[in-house]
Structure 1
Amino acid sequence: MTNSPEAPTPDSSPAPTEQASAAPAAPAAPLDADEVRHADHDPAVFTAGAFDRIVEPRSEARLPLGDGTWYQLAKAYVRVQLITTGLFLLLVLVGGLVAVFAFDFRWLVIPAAILLVILAAVLAVTPRQARSYGYQLRRDDLVFRRGILWQRIVAVPYGRMQLVDITHGPLDRGFGIAQLKIVTAAAVTGVTLPGLTQQAAEQLRDTLIEVAETRRTGL
C-alpha cells in the first residue's frame, strides 16, 4: 500500500499585505473670530495708548456689544478734540465781543450765545462720545460701532474694501494719532476711525489690505 503524499492544506489566515495608505490630514484649525490672518498682527499695538473699555448707553434697549475683542480710540484723540473745539469756542467768544463792543453789532449777541452753548456742550460730551467708538476684527469682516444717543454698528466685509486711507493734520501729528478711513463699493458702509495711534493705524491698514486681497482672490 503506497502512501499518497498529503496535499498541502491552504493557510486559512493568509499573511496580511501592507497597503500604503496615507492617514487623512487633520483639518486646519479655523481662524479665531478675533484674529486676522497676518504675520505682523500684534493686538498689543491696538491697545497701547487706547481706552480700556467701550462706554455703552444706559438704556436696556441698547445694541449689545456681543462676543470678541473690541479695540478703541487713542486717549490722545480726546485731547486733540478738546483743544480744537476750545480754540473755536475762544475764537467765537473773542469775535463776538469785538463785534458787539467795537462795532456795536448787538444783533450778534443771540447767535453767538447759542453757538457758545453748543460748543460748550460738545466739550462736555466729547470724552464720553470718544469712548463709544470701537472696532472689532472678525473672521470675515471688520465691525465698527459708535454713538451714545444715536448708535451705529457697521460690518464691512474684507472683500468689499477698495481703499484704506490714513490722514492726520499738524495737531494730530503732535499727539501721535491719525485718522483711518475705509472706502467700500457702497458709500453708506464706509467707516472712519478718527483717532488711532500712528502705529495702530499703520498696522490696521496693512492688515486690512492683505486680508482684503485674500478675500477678493478667494484664497
Structure 2
Amino acid sequence: MDDLFAPSDVSWTPVSPKLATLRRLSAAIFAGLAAIVALVVLGLTLGWGYGVLAVVLIALAFGWAWVLIGRNQRSWKYAEREDELLVSHGIMFRELVVVPYGRMQFVDVTAGPLERAYGLATVELHTATPATDAKIPGLHPDEAGRLRDRLSALGQSQAWGL
C-alpha cells in the first residue's frame, strides 16, 4: 500500500523543517488571540470560570495541533521524474499528485511575510485541470527558484507536442 503513495523508484526530496516552525508560530498566534477573545467575552458575559475553561480548551487544542503540524511537515515530499513531478503529503489522508510536465500551464512561487522571515517559499503548479494542480510549501527560496525554472523549461519543451 505504501508504494501507491510513495513509489520506491524515485528519489524523494523533503521540504524544510522550518515549515513546521512557521506553521506552529501561526497556530500560536491564532490560539493566543482566540484565548484572549474567549477569556474576555466569556468572562464578561458568563463568568470568569467559563473564560478560563475556554482558555484551557484552546491550550489543549494548540498542544494537539503542535504534534499534528510536525507530523504533517514530515509527510511533505516531492520527486522529479523524466516526464512528471510527483508531490506526496499526508499522514492519515495521504495524497499523491502526479503532474506531467507537458500539462503545466504556469508555475507560481509565493512567499508571505512570515515565510520570508523564515527563509521559505511555496511553489505552485497550475494545469488546465484544477484537480491536478500541486503545491510544494516549505522550500528554500533558491530551491524554489531552481524548481520554478526547471519546471517551466520542461513544461515548455514537452508542451510543443500537444
Query: 1:27-66 maps to which residues of 2 (within 5 A)?
Result: 61-62=1-2, 63=4, 65=6, 66=8
- % same residue: 29
- Give the counterpart of 2:129 among 161, 166, 186: 186
Residues 160, 212 of structure 1: 8 Å contact kept: yes
TM-score normalised to the size of structure 1?
A: 0.66
Secondary structure of the structure 1 residue equivalent to 2:75: coil
TM-score normalised to the size of structure 2?
A: 0.87
- Give the counterpart of 2:105 among 150, 154, 162: 162
Question: How far apart are the structure 2 equivalents of 1:77 and 1:217?
Answer: 36
- Give the counterpart of 1:98 among 11, 28, 40: 40
Aligned to 2:87: 144
- Count of matched residue pairs: 157
Residues 39, 55 of structure 2: 8 Å contact kept: no
1:175 pairs with 2:118: yes
1:108 CA displacement: 7.3
Aligned to 2:25: 83
1:152 CA displacement: 0.5
Unaligned runs of at least 5 residues, structure 2: none
Tell me which amino acid in the other structure corresponds to 2:85: L
Secondary structure of the structure 2 residue equivalent to 1:181: strand
Residues 40, 51 of structure 2: 8 Å contact kept: no
1:140 CA displacement: 0.4
Unaligned runs of at least 5 residues, structure 1: 1-60
Aligned to 2:69: 126
> Which entry has the higher C-alpha Rg, 1 or 2?
1
Deviations 1:64-95 (A, max 9, x none): 52212111111211111111101111111111
1:187 CA displacement: 0.4
- Quote the RMSD (CA, aligned, Å): 2.0
Secondary structure of the structure 2 residue equivalent to 1:88: helix
Residues 39, 51 of structure 2: 8 Å contact kept: no
Q: Which is richer in helix?
A: 2
